[in-house]
């Protein structure tokens, strides 16, 4: 079973916005960075954004300036605010937590950008 649960996906028009959430379904340990990945049909999974324990963020060039990754102060959840969505943003968005014991994954939440 997946340790992480994503939510917030759905159907949105080009130029619209969505806010994705990721939370642990149970206790997870020693997570030092959280990532959002996405995978479109027929494409490889790609890293979208990351946030470290210290709050440092990194972004893929194709979303920089449009997406913002953030977390709760207690690090219990991580979010991805997506603005000015485009057709090419359509994908399954997955949350990943990196730890010294391995990675935690969710099943993902589907984002569809369509007019």
Q: Which residues contact 24 (CB under 8 A, 6 or more apart)?
A: 3, 4, 5, 76, 97, 104
Q: Which residues contact 74 (CB under 8 A, 6 or more apart)?
A: none
Q: Are 14 and 87 in contact (CB under 8 A)?
A: yes
pLDDT tens track of the chain, all 115 residues?
568 999 999 999 999 999 999 998 877 778 899 999 999 999 999 999 999 989 999 999 999 899 999 998 777 899 999 999 999 999 999 999 999 889 999 999 999 999 9
Could you give the C-alpha distances from 62 to 47, 85, 89, 106, in angstroms and in order? 10, 11, 9, 23
How many whole angstroms separate alpha carbon 97 and alpha carbon 112?
Answer: 24
């Amino acid at each position: 079973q997946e340790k992480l649960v994503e939510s917030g996906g759905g159907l949105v028009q080009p130029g619209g916005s969505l806010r994705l959430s990721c939370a642990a379904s149970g206790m997870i340990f020693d997570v030092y960075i959280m990532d959002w990945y996405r995978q479109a049909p027929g494409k490889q999974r790609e890293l979208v954004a990351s946030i470290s324990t210290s709050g440092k963020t990194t972004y893929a060039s194709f979303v920089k300036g449009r997406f913002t990754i953030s977390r709760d102060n207690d690090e219990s959840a991580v979010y991805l605010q997506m603005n000015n969505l485009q057709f090419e943003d359509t994908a399954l968005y997955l949350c990943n937590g990196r730890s010294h014991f391995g990675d935690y994954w969710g099943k993902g939440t589907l984002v569809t950008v369509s007019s």
